């Protein structure tokens, strides 16, 4: 294989292009917009920049945020100090940085809309708004709204969240996350360079209802929409039953990022998985593992082993987390209370935010810390006289 066409030049497509062009393949990226302000928080976790340090070590404008405030109506507020900050980019800047890296590695970047792909012998004929092109192999990276039905994840309504919001003038030092009763999703306020991104994501609720919830929240917080710009987009959030049959590769193609449904179903984090899946796709394509079919199987196995199995587990937890109940209250309310009152629980939350705590080991860690967290909670509620001084759980930080 000599030539690869990359359909879509967002984070996933641009990073795949950089990796493959660096290895000496002839790579063309087709994107209808190139760098653009895609509706997105633009937040990158420690997990992303610790594995790909160029995501923080660069001169591109960005915000480093060290504090998140979690809130839920009957759970109050909890401030979470982030030992490893969240890095927030404008998507225009992030996309441009990634496309420039791809170009420097030798990839050709074309501003064109991909209209169709048809088989031509063992390769592909591509029909774009700029004309026809051919390639030996295709990487599908056109995001959640991939218009080509025959390649990439087949997103059903149960596999997506609606995400919408406003870019509004303003500034603050912290990230705000608000959970609401009955909402399988959350509201966020992300500080970005020069403005705030205030948005909501939710599953199984019409966009109009989500918008109403968000506008009510903004009114309560005194955030004006007057000079704001509205945005909306689709966020993949695969149902637990959809992961096993997820179509991430097929004859002559691999899908990466949102086009492969690779987004954390609980947090909506997709940037890391876009870059990581692009990295794994490039590794599989370049690997000495036999024929093309073997490379496709290798990609599926790499994804599963690296993070897809954990995201599938996250999908099992998502509904229980957002709309479930525990200790006579909503899970999200209890989570906020525990974060506020228990230093041990707060540490677990910090690790979840940074991406250091996989979902698979979460239950075990929570149980291991349960005694200690309940002890913290009791003490913070003023039960010092009725709770024994030393709890056995305290030995288990």
Ligand X SMILES: Cc1cc2nc3c(=O)[nH]c(=O)nc-3n(C[C@H](O)[C@H](O)[C@H](O)COP(=O)(O)OP(=O)(O)OC[C@H]3O[C@@H](n4cnc5c(N)ncnc54)[C@H](O)[C@@H]3O)c2cc1C
User: In whole angstroms, what is the distance from residue 350 CA to residue 356 CA?
Assistant: 9
Q: Residues 5, 6, 12, 82: which binds ligand X (CB under 6 A)?
A: 12
Contacts of ligand X in 31-70 (CB under 6 A): 31-33, 38-43
Nearest partner of 130 among 112, 107, 148, judged by Cα:
112
Q: How many CB atoms lie within 10 A of CB 335?
A: 22
Asked if 18 is part of the footprint of ligand X (rule: CB under 6 A), the reply reads no
Pick between residue 200 and residue 377 the one whose CB is nearest to ligand X.
Answer: 200
Q: Least distance (Å) from ligand X to the CB of residue 10?
A: 2
Q: Applying CB under 6 A, which part among 4-12, 51-59, 220-228, 379-387 lies near ligand X?
A: 4-12
CB-wise, 62 or 344, nearer to ligand X?
62
Question: Closer to ligand X at the Cβ: 130 or 378?
Answer: 130
* Of residues 213-242, those binding ligand X (CB under 6 A): 233, 235
Note whether 311 binds ligand X by CB under 6 A: no
Cβ atoms of 265 and 238 within 8 Å: the answer is: yes
How many binding residues for ligand X (CB under 6 A)? 36
Site for ligand X in 114-133 (CB under 6 A): 114
Find the part of the chain contacting ligand X (CB under 6 A) among 53-61, 150-158, 251-259, 306-314: 251-259
Contacting ligand X (CB under 6 A), which of 4, 5, 6, 9? 9
**Footprint of ligand X on 139-168 (CB under 6 A):** 141-143, 147, 163
Q: At closest approach, how far in Å is the CB of 156 from ligand X?
A: 18
Q: Is 75 in the site for ligand X (CB under 6 A)?
A: no
Residues of the shown chain interacting with ligand X in the complex, contacts defined by CB under 6 A: 8-13, 30-33, 38-43, 113-114, 141-143, 147, 163, 199, 233, 235, 257-259, 263, 268-272, 274
């Amino acid at each position: 294989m000599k030539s690869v066409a990359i359909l879509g030049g967002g984070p996933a497509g641009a990073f795949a292009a950089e990796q493959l062009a660096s290895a000496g393949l002839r790579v063309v990226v087709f994107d209808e917009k190139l760098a653009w302000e895609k509706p997105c928080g633009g937040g990158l976790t420690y997990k992303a920049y610790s594995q790909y340090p160029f995501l923080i070590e660069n001169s591109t404008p960005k915000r480093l945020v060290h504090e998140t405030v979690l809130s839920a109506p009957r759970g109050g507020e909890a401030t979470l100090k982030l030992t490893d900050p969240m890095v927030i980019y404008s998507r225009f800047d992030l996309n441009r940085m990634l496309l420039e890296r791809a170009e420097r590695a030798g990839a050709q970047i074309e501003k064109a809309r991909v209209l169709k792909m048809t088989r031509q012998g063992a390769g592909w004929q591509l029909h774009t708004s700029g004309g026809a092109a051919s390639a030996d192999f295709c990487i599908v990276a056109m995001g959640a709204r991939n218009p080509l039905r025959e390649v990439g994840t087949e997103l059903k309504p149960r596999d997506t969240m609606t995400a919408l919001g406003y870019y509004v003038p303003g500034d603050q030092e912290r990230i705000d996350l608000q959970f609401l009763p009955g909402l399988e999703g959350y509201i966020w306020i992300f500080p970005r360079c020069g403005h705030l991104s205030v948005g909501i994501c939710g599953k199984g609720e019409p966009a109009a209802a989500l918008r109403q919830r968000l506008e009510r929240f903004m009114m309560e917080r005194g955030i004006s929409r007057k000079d704001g710009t509205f945005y909306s987009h689709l966020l993949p959030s695969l149902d637990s039953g959809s992961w096993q049959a997820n179509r991430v590769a097929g004859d002559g193609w691999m899908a990466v990022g949102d086009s492969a449904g690779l987004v954390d179903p609980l947090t909506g984090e997709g940037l890391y998985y876009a870059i990581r899946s692009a990295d794994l796709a490039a590794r599989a394509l370049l690997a000495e593992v036999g024929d093309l079919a073997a490379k496709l199987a290798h990609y599926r196995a790499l994804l599963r082993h690296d993070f897809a199995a954990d995201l599938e587990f996250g999908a099992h937890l998502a509904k229980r987390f957002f709309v479930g109940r525990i200790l006579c209250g909503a899970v999200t309310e209890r989570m906020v209370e525990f974060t506020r009152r228990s230093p041990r629980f707060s540490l677990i939350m910090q690790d979840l935010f940074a991406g250091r705590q996989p979902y698979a080991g979460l239950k075990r860690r929570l149980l291991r810390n349960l005694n200690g967290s309940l002890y913290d909670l009791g003490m913070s509620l003023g039960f010092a006289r009725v709770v024994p001084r030393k709890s056995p759980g305290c030995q288990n930080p």
